[in-house]
Structure 1
Amino acid sequence: MSGVTALPRPASGVAKLHPQAALAVLATAQFLIVFNGTSANLALPDAIADLGLSEGLAVWVVSGYLLTFGGLLLLAGRLGDIAGRRRLLLAALVIFGLGATVAGLAPNGTVLVVARVVQGIGAAGVGPSVLGLLMAVFTDPQERRRALGVWGAVASGGAALGVLGGGALTTWFDWRAVLLINAPFVAVLVVGIPATVNPVPRVKGTHASVTGAVLSVAGIGSLVAGLTVGGEIGWTSATTLFLFAAGIVVLAMFGLLERVSAHPFLPVDLLTRASSAGGLTAMLAAAVAMFPVMFIASVLLQSRLGFSPVAAGLMMLPISLATIGGSLLAPRMIPRLGPVRPLLVGLVVVAVGTGAFAIAVAYGVPLGAFVPATIVFGAGMGLSITGAITLALSGATPAEAGAASGLLQTGQQLGGAVGLAAITTISAGAGYAVGLGIAAAVVVAGILLVALRLHRP
């Protein structure tokens, strides 16, 4: 296995004003984006019905957000390296807050769609900036591992908490509350971040190809658009196939340009280094399972077990707690074992939990099997995601931290979108048990790929 066990230290001169407060506000910023991703999805069907949106416009209430969010993650990560990560984070939070507020007050469907697009733009700037700042301001290896563990707990556990929060707010208030609740959090963060985190200066000598930036956004955006609309208009429709083909062609052009560019947009060897490639592969494999498992668990709790939306959210809490526990366990294991072994153990546990969930579904979703299976799944997910982040960022220089963060989160979103689209499509024809079984098999394939990539004779 790879001998990489330590994270690189960033350039000196970057310090925390208040270490624990800095970690708290940065983790809260990440939580806000993750929580919004799942809570808003629960509220938007009510919004579509309330505003009387046409079928064509209703698709873009969700698709508009996903398209800008997924398509701009890589660009946002690189912009943080070039323009300054704290500056970008504050601007992104303001954009996100404005989009959420306008969406929550939207008088008609057109305003709602435009506001959700703006929200997606802001959300894309938050994730890579938070992770890049954690890398820059936590210079001590032990402190950094703990900070990444907290980030992993928030990034993987916040989604399940969003199910509970979205269901509760929609039930007790209405769909607008789910969107408007973001504004006060953004206001606190915009004040709290400058008070607790020093600015990270632009990395000297950092440049980027404008053409590369355009191609990356166009290529990733085309893939995200295809994955988003494919479920609505059909996976074999001309539009879906065109979007997939365009995305692949444009990203191939992007790769060729990056290899010959004097100032590449994305450091090309981030995709070839053992640590970066291994961490990205692990993130993809974990995301392919995480998104559909969370979705299917929520659906089955309500459709087969008869839970209300709020009760279903409460039943998802054990997954969140297990995920948080796994994320916080990883920083304790990594100093002794390195990032590779905890990562592989986490993926094995994810595969076991997903497989057990598939068996439980095959036997009628007995609650006595559902809860343990999803807890095992959550613990493995927290351990594997934190291990993947630590491994991937261990090979990035300070000048590449933002780009590496954007690449990781782009991989997570694309992997999740592919997993959700493929597994739910398979489940619709062959049943949820078969779909979950295939998700478990994908994770096993990911384990083998990571092990082979990091193996050294």
Structure 2
Amino acid sequence: MTSTPGTANPPAATATAPDPRRWWALAAVATGQLMVGIDMTIMNIALPSLQRSLHLSDPDRAWVITVYALGYGGLLLLGGRLSDLAGRRRALLAGLAGFALASALGGAAAGLPALLAARALQGAFGALLTPSVLATLAATFATPAERGRAFGIYGVVMGSSSGLGVVLGGVLTDYLDWRWCMFVNVPIAVAAGAGVLYAVRPVPRAPGVRVDVTGAVLATAGLMALVLGFARAEPDGWGAGTTVASLAAGIVLLAMFAFTETRVAVPLLPPRVVLDRRRGGSYLAVLGLSAGMFAALFFLTFYLQNVLHYSPVRAGLAFLPLTAGLMAGVRAVSPLLMRARVRSLLVPGLAVVAAGLALLGTVRTDSGYWTHVLPVFLLIGLGTGWVLVTANSTATLGAGADTAAAGAAVMTSQQIGASLGTALLSTVAGTAAAAHLRAHPGKVPEAAVHGFGVASLGAAACLGAMAVVVFLITGPHGAQRE
């Protein structure tokens, strides 16, 4: 990887007075991103109720989650380029309006086809919105102190959205109806859109922006195939034809995409973005973090409801310490963003998440929430906040015209990591649980928890190894913030 040192105070930024509405702009775009993040998990707890309401089979039920991940993860890179093409403000408004409309259609869906179409549209408009959010933050907050605070707040929002989605999904499903897990996005999008109209200034479209059609087709198809393969691996098995074909197609298409990007004048994802040592290490850190974090959240959702017998609302509230840990991590790392080496920020964050996964690996059926589960949430939240703030700030620092694409690559890494972690570690957990059940017939809860423990310890080891790789990639040359 080559090195491109970042600049804490770009000349253009220091010559321009700060926008007096910049904190309102942060509130608006963070609210929009919170909505997108919540929808990654809000339907999880609602699935049993939804399945009964629409008379779905188990495979059909799984597609409600998968199709959102396909639309969002597959279109993020294209969304970054469309943000440049249309302009950040227009892309924000289009993303919010489209997400609200898709949510209303999903809430009113009378059957599976309409619901899946709505979920796919949610993912697509979310993929347009997210790169514009990051580009807006990078352009609005250029001074080191304010940049650290702004990305710290954004990191709390993005990192806590999954846990808040579980809480909100449980409350809405218990006290209203699963459809409100979709309808709730409409007022959130309206509030965020009003904030964007008030606080985000229109900016001229970047000159010379064109859509790399070949790259867009290859990247979108490749990412969708990869996400689909990971999503189907857990229910269908890694050896199933759909899983193998999807993963193979994804790898081939993304390899073709990488080759194409070195041959076109205006690439969808310029190679210089990924080959920068700081950004490359950040993307890898987010990939590993997301794999471990989302698998842990999946395991803990099952553990709280099926082993400790928590209600959906109580299980959702049990996730709140995750947000407390996130806020602590963000508060600790934000002042260091412009002063410390990238690797000295990313590596400790990954190590803390690995420690949380290792602790999760020791949980048993008779473990208590306060002595075992709560510390897991705090550690994973602390490390997640630490890594996400660092990665998002690093990816967009000094990126110039590549800001939207660089920010989209962070979220693409997160989405692929989440899909990979959930699929791979669920398979490991299922295999270990089956072996335990054969050795101890009738011990179903014990077998499930044993499987989660094996998978969590394996994830902790992998994340520790990834921390070493990130350390090597991001330093010593070019790793210092200047």
TM-score range, shorter chain: over 0.9
**TM-score, normalised by the number of residues in structure 2:** 0.90
Give the match for residue 456 of structure 2: 436
Q: For 1:38-77, what aligned pairs fall within 5 Å after superposition?
A: 38-55=41-58, 57-77=60-80
Q: 2:414 aligns with which of 403, 412, 416?
A: 412
Deviation at 1:58, TM superposition (A): 3.3
Equivalent residues in 2 for 1:5-16, closer than 5 Å:
6=8, 8=10, 16=19
Which 10-residue stretch deviates more, 88-97 or 17-26?
17-26
Aligned-partner Cα distance in 2 for 1:456–1:110? 52
* Aligned mate of 2:314, from 311, 315, 336: 311
Whole-Å separation in 2 of the counterparts to 1:43 and 1:366: 23
Measured against aligned partners, the alpha-carbon deviations of 1:109-144 in whole angstroms (never above 9, x if no partner) come to 221111111111111112111111101121222212
Sequence identity, in percent? 36
What displacement does 1:364 show? 4.2
1:110 has 2:113 as partner: yes
| Partner residue in 1 for 2:359 | 356
Residues 424, 139 of structure 1: alpha-carbon distance in 2 compared, 3 angstrom cutoff: same
Contact 1:52 1:109 in 2 (8 A): no
Question: How far, CA to CA, are the matches of 2:373 and 2:60 in structure 1?
Answer: 37
Match of 2:245 in 1: 242
In angstroms, what is the RMSD of aligned CA positions?
2.1
Deviations 1:177-233 (A, max 9, x none): 111111111112222211111123322233342111111111111111111222232
Match of 1:427 among 401, 410, 429: 429
* Contact 2:9/2:142, CA 8 A, preserved across alignment: no
Matched, 1:450 2:470: yes
Paired position in structure 1 for 2:435: none
How many Å separate the matches in 2 of 1:197 and 1:349?
A: 36
Q: Quick check: 1:340–1:387 contact (8 Å CA) kept in 2? A: no
Q: 1:9 to 1:401 in 2, by over 3 A?
A: farther
Separation of aligned partners in 1, 2:159 and 2:126: 16
What is the Cα deviation at residue 368 of structure 1? 1.0
Unaligned runs of 5+ in 1: none
The 3 A distance-change label for structure 1 pair 51 and 337 is same
Matches within 5 A, 1:370-385: 370-385=373-388
- Report the Cα distance in structure 2 between the residues aligned to 1:375 and 1:365, rounded to whole angstroms: 15
CA distance in 2, matches of 1:123, 1:454: 30
Q: Contact 1:100–1:182 (CA<8 Å) still a contact in 2? A: yes
2:404 aligned with 1:402: yes
TM-score calculated relative to the size of structure 1: 0.94
- In the alignment, the residues of structure 2 paired with residue 239 and residue 8 of structure 1 have an alpha-carbon distance, to the nearest angstrom, of 48
Distance 1:141 1:300 in 2: 42
The Cα offsets for residues 142-183 of structure 1, whole Å up to 9 and x where unpaired, read as 212211111111111111111111101100111011111111
What amino acid is the match of 2:475? H
Q: Which amino acid aligns with 1:435?
A: A
How many Å apart are 1:351 and its aligned residue? 1.2
SS of the counterpart of 2:204?
coil
Tell me by how many angstroms 1:3 deviates: 7.0
Residue 154 of structure 1 corresponds to which residue in structure 2? 157
Question: For the Cα contact (< 8 Å) 2:134–2:396, is it kept in 1?
Answer: no
- Which residue number corresponds to residue 207 of structure 1? 210
Deviation at 1:374, TM superposition (A): 2.1
CA contact 1:7–1:390 (8 Å) conserved in 2: no
Gaps of 5+ in 2: 433-450, 478-482
Distance 1:139 1:5, change over 3 A: closer
Contact kept? 2:358, 2:460, Cα under 8 Å: yes
**Residue identity matched to 1:83:** A
